[in-house]
């Protein structure tokens, strides 16, 4: 059409294309870049003859409730089902919103980073929507986020405020959703659901805090054909949000694919006062027509280059005290553990829960102390500086555990400020862990300031503390904020999480050299909200059983890069499952992410120590490949008796291959040769097995040189014995 204005948002090899026609942004394409955006506009289905009306023009940007009739107002087949990323009841009670384009501008935020801003407003009201898109030349990832502004005479009630809505033709007759499900100790297990026509799958988490539990806010949709790791058209999406969220994926009756995702206000509207704006969380999306593996690599690259703090840096090998000591430690316990990690070749020691609280509130169990971030000088008399100096003497760094959003009713903080706790005036206070744990009201700036001051003072006084494990061991159990007015109580879910992220961001900015780990009872913060705001990494799971970790890490790394997933070698039998697993296997699993330890080195068998040191040395060598390389998933643990994955560095000169037996039976002996991916097909690679124990090797190719084409076509024969046997190979291009 003549008056079309064409928009073409390009990343490395993908584009999002749409046109502005009669005040509406209409979708023309999302996927592999085509040479002419004008062609895409010409191919847009826009027949409105009553029969083909389901193949109507699709809104490219932000559809609003009530705004469905933009070309064919009176057609009987119009339904509301497909619309409504935004649902606003305006100040005068009108419940629909009709957005019209006002303005658009494209800028370059940095070399290779383009930023498109689309301004829209309701045709009748002072209600404004600004939609942002950002693309990157170096990876096929798009970011989008929304700002809502209320310039009406009074408050508006927002029933729905998604961050993302996209409707596109399916280009085939099938759609399969891959997402992560799970809870404490069993995070990130993969679900695969094929959608029938007119079917919707909804995903979400209403924990309010463990935003990556139940479902993880990241998912993939394969559409138009089946998909594998290396084949098929796949959409990948992730909401960068740490609190309550929802997503829905619909295969419509006309075989279009409709994807929505955004925050969940759980039980009522978000009230936005006149003159106020809010910014909704970012949605990150990507596309590949070469299968699901590429979707993961796109997310990983974007996360390392554009999302996480220090994403391009290598993470230290640390020992965290929790499973080695729990609450029972003295200064000597801690310095002994420091000796241990130093002797292993590690680089950091983290004191977990139990170092704070005074007198009756001393945190020697989980019934008390949260909220009182004061050093327990009865337990650790020489103070934090002494321990930071002890760490420095050993050439390692020191980290400390906090649970900043939480308190125990047994704490000085709650005794002084009972109104700082999420609660409801007419209901008994529900309490969590230790029968006394409550959640602080992060909506209240005074609460955030108090917690900020306590942590800031400690970090300022002891610059030797350079790592914080930020934990959160409760969900929102009392859905009431004493701070918010009574007619704003449903704002709690959004304002709580905004408050958490604001506090974390403020601390990270004030202490730029401090690394942060996001933890929420294990993997509850495996999400891009925390990673893009303050966290260098997240704790993968409280379940440290290496068998379970093969599955959990597999799931988390569908979206989150290896250097963000903390993986610790722990004692055997495992404290969560009581399963006994050989030390080599525990190492081989933890080495495929960010390696660390969570045990008391003094409890280890002295005979194992040389092997531990060898593994740490090995990991340091392969760390750049694992933490910065491209991940290729070769054999899924869901498909059989073994699992295999590999990392390849950027110039394809080095790779690391991991193989894990999973079944206890003899079948594990019969695994097919492992066909490698991602290598440079024209080169030969020297293969070296790492971490060989008791001369038990797993391939005949140790120290052989083999061409990448044969490794990809025929594969590497690997012998995995029954039980928990595993192998790691280093490949170096000649």
Q: Does an H or E element contain 594, and which?
A: strand 594-598
Comparing CB distances to ligand GLA, the nearer of 568 and 698 is 568
Give CA–CA dist 644/668, Å, rounded: 13
> For residues 471 and 545, which CB has a smaller minimum distance to ligand GLA in the complex?
471
Strand partners, 99: 122
Report in angstroms how near the CB of residue 184 gets to ligand GLA at its nearest: 8
Closest distance of CB 472 from ligand GLA, Å: 9
Minimum CB separation of residue 366 from ligand GLA in Å reads 6
Long-range CB contact pairs, 373-381, < 8 A, 24+:
373/402, 373/404, 373/451, 373/454, 373/455, 373/458, 374/454, 375/458, 379/329, 379/330, 379/354, 379/355, 380/330, 380/331, 380/334, 380/355, 381/331
Q: Which helix (H) or strand (E) holds 252?
A: none
Q: Residue 663 CB, nearest distance to ligand GLA (Å)?
A: 29
Tell which one of 522, 540, 593, 601 touches ligand GLA (CB under 6 A).
522
Residue 603 CB, nearest approach to ligand GLA (Å): 18
Q: Which of 631, 537, 545, 549 is nearest to 189 (CA)?
A: 549
Binding track over 352-371 against ligand GLA, x by CB under 6 A: xx------------------
Judged by CB under 6 A, the chain residues 542 through 581 that form the site for ligand GLA are: 542
Of the chain, the end-to-end C-alpha distance in Å amounts to 56
Ordered DSSP codes for 652-718: SSEEEEEEEE--SSGGGGGPPPB---SS-TT-EEEEEEES-BTTB-S-TTTTEEEEHHHHHHT-B--
Say how far apart CA 617 and CA 420 lie, in whole Å: 48
Q: Out of 116, 256, 351, 519, name the contact with ligand GLA by CB under 6 A.
A: 519
Q: Which stretch binds ligand GLA (CB under 6 A): 67-75, 118-126, 220-228, 518-526?
A: 518-526
Binding mask 313-342 for ligand GLA (x = CB under 6 A): ---------x--------------------
Helix axes 445-461, 492-510, angle to 10 degrees: 20
Distance CA 479, CA 472 (A): 17
Q: How far is CA 416 from CA 6, 370, 371, in A?
A: 60, 13, 11
User: Does 65 interact with ligand GLA (rule: CB under 6 A)?
Assistant: no
- Contact stretch for ligand GLA (CB under 6 A) within 244-252, 308-316, 516-524, 630-638: 516-524
The residue whose Cβ lies closest to ligand GLA is 353
- From candidates 411, 473, 532, 570, binder to ligand GLA by CB under 6 A: 473
Nearest approach, Cβ of 674 to ligand GLA (angstroms)?
33
- In the complex, the smallest distance separating the C-beta of residue 180 from ligand GLA, rounded to whole angstroms, is 18
Contact between 436 and ligand GLA by CB under 6 A: the answer reads no
CB 589 within 8 A of CB 726: yes
List binders of ligand GLA among 452-471 (CB under 6 A).
471
Residue 530 binding ligand GLA, by CB under 6 A: no
Beta strands in 443-557 (DSSP E): 465-470, 515-518, 537-539
How many Cα atoms are found within 13 Å in the side-chain-facing hemisphere of 419? 6
Measured from the CB of residue 164, what is the shortest distance to ligand GLA in angstroms?
A: 30
User: Closest separation between CB of residue 350 and ligand GLA, Å?
Assistant: 9
CB of 520 to ligand GLA, least distance (A): 7
Contact window for ligand GLA (CB under 6 A) among 22-30, 79-87, 422-430, 515-523: 515-523
Which tokens is 662 given? 């999973």
Give the largest CA-CA distance in the chain.
Answer: 82
Question: Residues 391-410: x/- map of binding to ligand GLA (CB under 6 A)?
Answer: ----------x---------
* Assigned token pair, 625: 């490949």
Q: Does 521 bind ligand GLA (CB under 6 A)?
A: yes
Give contact residues for ligand GLA (rule: CB under 6 A).
322, 352-353, 401, 471, 473, 519, 521-522, 539, 542
């Amino acid at each position: 059409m003549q008056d079309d204005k064409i928009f073409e948002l390009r990343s490395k090899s993908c584009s999002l294309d749409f046109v502005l026609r009669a005040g509406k942004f209409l979708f023309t394409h999302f996927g592999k870049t085509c040479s002419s955006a004008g062609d895409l506009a010409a191919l847009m289905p826009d027949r409105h003859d009553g029969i083909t009306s389901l193949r109507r023009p699709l809104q490219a940007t932000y559809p609003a409730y009530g705004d469905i009739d933009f070309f064919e107002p009176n057609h009987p087949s119009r339904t509301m089902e497909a619309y409504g990323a935004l649902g606003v009841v305006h100040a005068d009670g009108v419940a629909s919103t009709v957005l019209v384009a006002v303005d658009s501008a494209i800028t370059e935020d940095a070399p290779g980073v383009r930023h498109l801003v689309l301004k829209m407003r309701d045709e009748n009201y002072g209600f404004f929507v600004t939609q942002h898109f950002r693309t990157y030349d170096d990876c096929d990832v798009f970011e989008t986020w929304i700002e809502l502004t209320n310039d009406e005479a009074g408050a508006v009630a927002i029933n729905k405020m998604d961050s993302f809505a996209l409707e596109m033709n399916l280009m085939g007759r099938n759609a399969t959703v891959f997402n992560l499900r799970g809870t404490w100790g069993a995070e990130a297990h993969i679900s695969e659901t094929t959608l029938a026509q007119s079917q919707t799958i909804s995903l979400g988490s209403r924990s309010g805090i463990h935003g990556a539990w139940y479902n993880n806010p990241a998912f993939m949709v394969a559409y138009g054909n089946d998909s594998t790791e290396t084949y098929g058209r796949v959409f990948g999406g992730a909401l960068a949000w740490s609190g309550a969220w929802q997503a829905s994926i619909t295969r419509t009756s006309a075989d279009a694919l409709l994807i929505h995702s955004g925050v969940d206000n759980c039980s009522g509207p978000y009230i936005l006062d006149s003159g106020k704006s809010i910014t909704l969380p970012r949605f990150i999306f990507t596309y590949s027509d070469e299968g699901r593996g590429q979707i993961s690599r796109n997310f990983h690259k974007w996360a390392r280059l554009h999302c996480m703090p220090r994403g391009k840096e290598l993470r230290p090998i640390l020992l965290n005290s929790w499973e080695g000591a729990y609450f029972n430690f003295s200064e000597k316990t801690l310095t002994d553990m420091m000796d241990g990690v130093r002797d292993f070749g590690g680089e950091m020691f983290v004191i977990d829960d139990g170092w704070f609280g005074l007198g009756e509130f001393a945190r020697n169990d989980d019934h008390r102390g949260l909220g009182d971030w004061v050093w327990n000088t009865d337990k650790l008399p020489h103070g934090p500086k002494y321990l930071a100096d002890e760490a420095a003497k050993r050439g390692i760094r020191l980290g400390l555990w906090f649970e900043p959003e939480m308190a125990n009713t047994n704490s000085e903080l709650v005794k002084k400020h009972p109104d700082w706790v999420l609660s409801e005036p007419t209901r008994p206070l529900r309490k969590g862990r230790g029968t006394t744990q409550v959640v602080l009201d992060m909506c209240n700036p005074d609460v955030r300031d108090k917690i900020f001051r306590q942590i800031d003072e400690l970090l300022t006084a002891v610059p030797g503390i350079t790592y914080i494990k930020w934990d959160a061991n409760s969900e929102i159990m009392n859905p009431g904020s004493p701070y918010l007015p009574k007619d704003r109580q449903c704002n709690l879910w959004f304002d709580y999480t905004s408050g958490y992220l604001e506090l974390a961001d403020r601390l990270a900015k004030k202490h730029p050299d401090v690394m942060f780990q996001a933890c929420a009872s294990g993997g509850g913060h495996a999400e891009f909200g925390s990673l893009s705001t303050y966290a260098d990494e997240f704790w993968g799971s409280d379940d440290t059983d290496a068998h379970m970790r093969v599955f959990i890490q597999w799931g988390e790394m569908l979206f989150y890069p290896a250097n963000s997933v903390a993986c610790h070698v722990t004692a055997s039998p495992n404290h969560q499952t009581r399963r006994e697993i050989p030390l080599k296997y525990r190492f081989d699993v933890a080495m495929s992410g960010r390696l660390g330890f969570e045990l008391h080195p003094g409890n280890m068998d002295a005979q194992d120590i040389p092997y531990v040191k060898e593994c740490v040395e090995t990991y340091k060598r392969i760390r750049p490949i694992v933490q910065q390389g491209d991940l290729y998933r070769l054999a899924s643990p869901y498909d059989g008796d073994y699992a295999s994955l590999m990392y390849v560095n950027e110039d394809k000169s080095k790779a690391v291959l991991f193989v894990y037996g999973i079944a206890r039976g003899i079948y594990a002996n019969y695994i097919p040769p492992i066909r490698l991916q991602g290598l440079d097909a024209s080169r030969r690679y020297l293969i070296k097995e790492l971490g060989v124990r008791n001369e038990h090797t797993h391939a005949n190719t140790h120290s052989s040189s083999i061409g990448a084409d044969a490794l990809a076509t025929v594969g590497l024969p690997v012998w995995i014995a029954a039980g928990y046997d595993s192998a790691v190979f280093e490949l170096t291009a000649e």
